């Protein structure tokens, strides 16, 4: 019995010891794994863009005037040379009671000035008649020898002076009459009187054929010179403008292929970069960060029937293909981490993680190209945590 009791105690102590040792042993870390594969790889720069009409014409008022209501609507077709807006002369201002009284007084003053000019004209006419008659008498006396040459010249000079005075007084009468008409017009005509007259109207014509894209000023009213009235363009001639970060724009060149997605159609549209503008601009991001951006202009090369429903200012997403290749050895970018001055990845071997230094090439954010350090078909650990080190026991999650 004593022997059996010692055997039982020894077995119990051994079981406790084994349980403690097993509990203190490190357990394998569950990890996600992926295969090193070969396949096509495409590196793109993705940004949001919008469409715009290539040739956009903004017709403005050539002179200050009173524009009539524009009968066109957005989307209407216009022909080259068609009158799209009509400018009337500016209407006179409405006279208040004080201004009206002053205008009435100017009318009466103009009447008096006209009467005075007429009286002066009558006096000048009488002097002219007398000077002409005197000249005729002196001329007859000179022919009979009863008047000297000096008397004849004096009479001739007085007759010409009297004629000039008469003509001047008649012109003064005309001036006074016009002043009276101007004073009466200022008194009678206000902005609320009278109708439109075709005299002096300025038509605004379309320089090209196209469709109406916008009407900044549709209702009638007074406008200053240069005020935009209507926008015309051809929506079938579209281009795409995309603002790209300046450090990514240097990788884009004219001719770079583009894919336009999320524009509303079932298939992506193809395009090519036409120009990368040489000047950048500052833009505040949604997080309040200042960014230097550059406008990239691209043309849509897909057949027009595929994107005929697109219009001016439509949103889409552009993916600029800056590099692509076939049969590229690649791994998920989440499997790579910084090691020294290069990159490394963990490879499971015999249930333990082994660090492998790798050389990478192109990457698109999700997948990275492997130039050396890994072989096709090998397994790598993705998203390695800080629990994984060289030799750490691992198991597939």
User: Do 179 and 256 share a domain, yes or no?
Assistant: no
User: Do 257 and 298 share a domain, yes or no?
Assistant: yes
User: Do 219 and 245 share a domain, yes or no?
Assistant: no
Q: How far apart are the first and last CA of the chain?
A: 50
Contacts 24+ apart (CB under 8 A), 175-182: 175/117, 176/110, 176/113, 176/114, 176/116, 176/117, 176/118, 177/114, 179/110, 179/113, 179/114, 180/107, 180/110, 180/111, 180/113, 180/114, 182/110
Distance (Å) of CA 235 to CA 242, 272, 302:
18, 19, 15
User: Do 73 and 214 share a domain, yes or no?
Assistant: yes
> What kind and span of H or E run contains 8?
helix 2-24
User: How many structural domains compose the chain?
Assistant: 4
User: Do 282 and 361 share a domain, yes or no?
Assistant: no
330: which residues sit within 8 A by CB, 6+ positions away? 36, 37, 38, 39, 41, 367, 368, 369, 370
Question: Domain range holding 256?
Answer: 44-53+235-324
What CATH number does residue 201 fall under?
Answer: 2.40.50.100
Tell whether 80 is covered by a domain. Answer: yes
User: Do 71 and 150 share a domain, yes or no?
Assistant: no
Note the pLDDT of residue 199.
Answer: 53
Distance of CA 102 to the CA centre of its chain: 50
Q: What is the DSSP letter of 26?
A: P
Tell whether 7 is covered by a domain. Answer: no
User: Do 362 and 285 share a domain, yes or no?
Assistant: no
Q: Are 87 and 204 within 8 A, CB to CB?
A: yes
User: Do 212 and 336 share a domain, yes or no?
Assistant: no
Q: Are 9 and 368 within 8 A, CB to CB?
A: no
Q: How far apart are CA 166 and CA 158, in angstroms?
A: 12
pLDDT mean by block of 10 residues, the chain; 397 residues: 73 75 71 93 93 90 89 90 88 71 83 88 88 86 80 84 86 86 73 49 88 90 90 89 94 94 92 94 90 95 90 93 93 93 93 93 91 93 90 88
Backbone angles phi, psi at 379, to 5 degrees: -110, 140
Q: Got the DSSP string for 335-359? A: G-EEETTEEEEEEEETTEEEEEEEE
What CATH number does residue 31 fall under?
Answer: 2.40.420.20
Nearest to 257 by CA among 242, 273, 245, 244: 273
Q: Collapsing DSSP states into helix, strand and coil, what is residue 328?
A: strand
User: Do 369 and 304 share a domain, yes or no?
Assistant: no
Cα Rg, the chain, nearest whole Å: 48
Note the pLDDT of residue 22.
Answer: 62
Tell whether 333 is covered by a domain. Answer: yes
Q: What stretches of 36-144 adopt beta strand conformation (E)?
A: 37-53, 56-60, 65-67, 77-78, 83-88
Tell whether 19 is covered by a domain. Answer: no
Nearest to 202 by CA among 111, 68, 7, 58: 68
Instruction: Give the burial string for 275-310 (b: 16+ CB within 10 Å, else e).
Output: ebeeebeeeeeeeeeeeebbbbbbbbeeeeeebeeb
Which of 188, 217, 248 is the last residue in one of the domains? 188
Tell whether 2 is covered by a domain. Answer: no
Note the pLDDT of residue 195.
Answer: 47
Note the pLDDT of residue 331.
Answer: 95
User: Do 102 and 171 share a domain, yes or no?
Assistant: yes
Q: Got the DSSP string for 289-319? A: -EEEEEEEEEEE-S-GGGGTT--TT-EEEEE
What CATH number does residue 315 fall under?
Answer: 2.40.30.170
User: Do 248 and 380 share a domain, yes or no?
Assistant: no
Residues forming beta bridges with residue 236, ordered by sequence position: none
- Strands 394-396 and 29-35, sheet pairing: parallel
Distance (Å) of CA 295 to CA 258, 275, 286, 302:
14, 9, 18, 22
Tell whether 284 is covered by a domain. Answer: yes
Q: What angle do CA 299, 301, 304 make, to 5 degrees?
A: 105
User: Do 150 and 211 share a domain, yes or no?
Assistant: no
Tell whether 342 is covered by a domain. Answer: yes
Tell whether 5 is covered by a domain. Answer: no
Note the pLDDT of residue 201.
Answer: 82
């Amino acid at each position: 019995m004593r022997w059996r009791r010692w055997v039982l105690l020894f077995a119990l102590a051994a079981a406790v010891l084994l349980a403690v040792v097993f509990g203190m042993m490190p357990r394998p870390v569950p990890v996600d794994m992926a295969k090193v594969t070969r396949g096509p790889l495409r590196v793109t720069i993705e940004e949001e863009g919008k469409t715009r009409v290539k040739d956009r014409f903004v017709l403005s008022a050539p002179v200050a005037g009173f524009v009539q209501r524009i009968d066109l609507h957005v989307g209407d077709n216009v022909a080259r040379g068609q009158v799209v807006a009509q400018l009337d002369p500016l209407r006179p201002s409405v006279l208040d009671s004080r201004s009206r009284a002053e205008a009435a007084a100017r009318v009466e003053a103009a009447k008096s000035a006209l009467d005075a000019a007429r009286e002066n004209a009558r006096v000048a006419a009488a002097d002219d008649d007398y000077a002409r008659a005197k000249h005729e008498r002196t001329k007859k006396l000179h022919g009979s020898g009863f008047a000297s040459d000096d008397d004849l010249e004096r009479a001739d000079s007085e007759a010409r002076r009297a004629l000039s005075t008469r003509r001047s007084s008649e012109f003064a009468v005309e001036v006074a009459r016009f002043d009276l008409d101007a004073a009466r017009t200022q008194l009678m005509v206000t902005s609320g009187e009278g109708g439109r007259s075709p005299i002096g109207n300025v038509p605004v014509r379309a320089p090209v054929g196209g469709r109406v894209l916008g009407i900044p000023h549709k209702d009638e009213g007074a406008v200053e010179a240069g005020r935009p009235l209507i926008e015309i363009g051809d929506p079938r001639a579209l281009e795409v403008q995309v603002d790209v970060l300046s450090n990514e724009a240097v990788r884009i060149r004219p001719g770079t292929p583009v894919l336009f997605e999320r524009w509303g159609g079932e298939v992506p549209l193809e395009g090519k970069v036409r120009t990368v503008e040489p000047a950048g601009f500052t833009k505040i991001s949604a997080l309040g960060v200042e960014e230097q951006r550059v406008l990239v202009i691209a043309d849509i090369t897909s057949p027009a029937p595929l994107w005929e429903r697109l219009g001016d200012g439509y949103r889409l997403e552009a993916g600029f293909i800056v590099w692509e290749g076939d049969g590229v050895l690649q791994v998920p970018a989440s499997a790579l981490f910084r090691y020294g001055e290069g990159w490394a990845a963990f490879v499971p071997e015999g249930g333990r993680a082994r660090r492998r230094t790798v050389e990478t090439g192109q990457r698109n954010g999700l997948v990275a190209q492997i130039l050396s350090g890994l072989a096709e078909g090998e397994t790598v650990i993705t998203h390695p945590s800080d629990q994984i080190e060289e030799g750490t026991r691992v198991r597939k999650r």
